[in-house]
Chains A and B, each alone.
Chain A
């Protein structure tokens, strides 16, 4: 175990070419790209399906489908596909983004569906168009759930990016695999510890953003001053259902 600490505390371990710093940057880069791609697809689709009240079966069951497909197998399938796929960043991004869509879609959809019907009615009564209703009423009310979906998605993508190392890509998984190839348990454990810490830090970081956002919206108004419902009480309800959906998504 002390070998692991020595390895991790040696500055050259981090700064040399293809050192831990490079691997960490690769890991964060691939994760961020996949999260971005997934969010750009899943959030608008979830908002729209939730707004029109359709696609519930898909939105609620897509998590199960995602769970049943092994990340590693999907990555290998894409790596063995002809160009533009192969062992490259577009393949990795696509595979990881596919696994990141379910929590985002489920939580966004549920958030919009669970918007207080009285508030939605009130908005409609004020003559809001569908678009205004979505932007000014449903989206702000869906925000707590949407943010917890984002946290789940971020943790998930950071975790799955590790597997990229198994198919010849970089990122922190590569450190573990190099350890395996050279039968160096020290490397395996050091890489694994970094990955675990990164995942826990992601959970904590996105969790902090979530709590800050919910505090701000509770303090009143937020960025939706036209919100026909006074800020306080509805946020509490959405907060608890966010926990429920978060657990369901896991």
Chain B
């Protein structure tokens, strides 16, 4: 402020919900929080997809694995996120890994269920035809079953991704950073633009990720173009 002594009147001072000046002056902080949020999401999704694939294939083939996986996933999904983070705290420690491990557990439940029901729904004729053409088990899985299971699996992946974005918000308690940090700072200092900006960014991020995944699914399943989602 150039005019010393005069009280500035701007949206920061008025504590307006919508304040472009806030976004301008704190852009570095906002971008950092957003980056932390996105990296938690990417790590969570990568790890859960890698774990979900073998688990789902096993569950699809073996009855007891299926019963165990489906039962465990109901229990995991019922436990509230704050409780899950807290229960993992003494095991893993006060850092972002606690948050990521909990988020992976949640994502896994959705992903494995989606993949298993996708694999179950693969038409028997397609499998028979591939077997008749001499496909081995591995090739059958890779070239017939997994591609045909993709649309259902993606429904699970979208749910997992969107929930992860939202659930990451309370990760700030465990020092994981992310947009929840801004919401928390806004709460403790009664600073409205910080809270609203972070909330909107969270929702926008979730919507963008969802759209990206829809695009990815269309790109990966060209034979389904023109079929309604």
Contacts and interface: CB of A to CB of B under 8 A. Distances in A.
Interface stretch (A130-138, A152-160, A208-216): A152-160
B170 to A, nearest CB: 5
A165 to B, nearest CB: 8
Contacts, number: 123
- Among A67, A160, A191, the most chain B Cβ lie within 10 Å of the Cβ of A67
B86 A167 contact: no
Interface stretch (A34-42, A76-84, A89-97): A76-84
Nearest to A201: B78
Contact of A188 (B86, B199, B203): B86
Nearest to B192: A80
A204 to B, nearest CB: 9
Interface of B: 74-75, 77-87, 89-90, 110, 113, 159, 162-163, 165-167, 169-170, 173, 179-180, 183-184, 186-187, 190, 192, 195-196, 198-199, 202-203, 206-207, 210
A179 B83 CA distance: 12
Given A68-B206, A69-B203, A72-B170, A173 B195 contact: no
A76 B195 contact: yes
B78 A203 contact: yes
Given A69-B166, A70-B202, A196-B79, A250 B183 contact: no
Interface in A187-201: 188-189, 191-193, 195-196, 199-200
A188 B166 CA distance: 22
B199 A77 contact: yes
Contacts of B113: 247
A173 B86 CA distance: 11
Contact of B83 (A1, A167, A192): A192
A173 B81 CA distance: 11
A244 B207 CA distance: 24
B196 to A, nearest CB: 7
A167 B187 contact: yes
B195 A80 contact: yes
Nearest to B165: A68
Nearest to B203: A68
Given A76-B195, A155-B78, A180-B173, A189 B183 contact: no
A199 B77 CA distance: 10
Contacts of B162: 64, 67-68
5 contacts: A70-B167, A70-B180, A80-B186, A189-B86, A199-B78
A25 interface: no
Contact of A80 (B84, B85, B190): B190
Nearest to A1: B90
A196 B83 CA distance: 6
B171 to A, nearest CB: 10
Given A73-B195, A159-B79, A203-B78, 18 more contacts: A67-B159, A67-B166, A68-B203, A68-B206, A68-B210, A70-B202, A72-B180, A73-B202, A76-B187, A77-B195, A160-B80, A163-B82, A195-B80, A196-B83, A196-B84, A199-B80, A200-B75, A250-B110
A200 B79 contact: yes
A193 B192 CA distance: 33
Given A72-B169, A193-B87, A79 B187 contact: yes
Given A68-B206, A185-B89, A191-B86, A196 B80 contact: yes
A185 B78 contact: no
B145 to A, nearest CB: 21
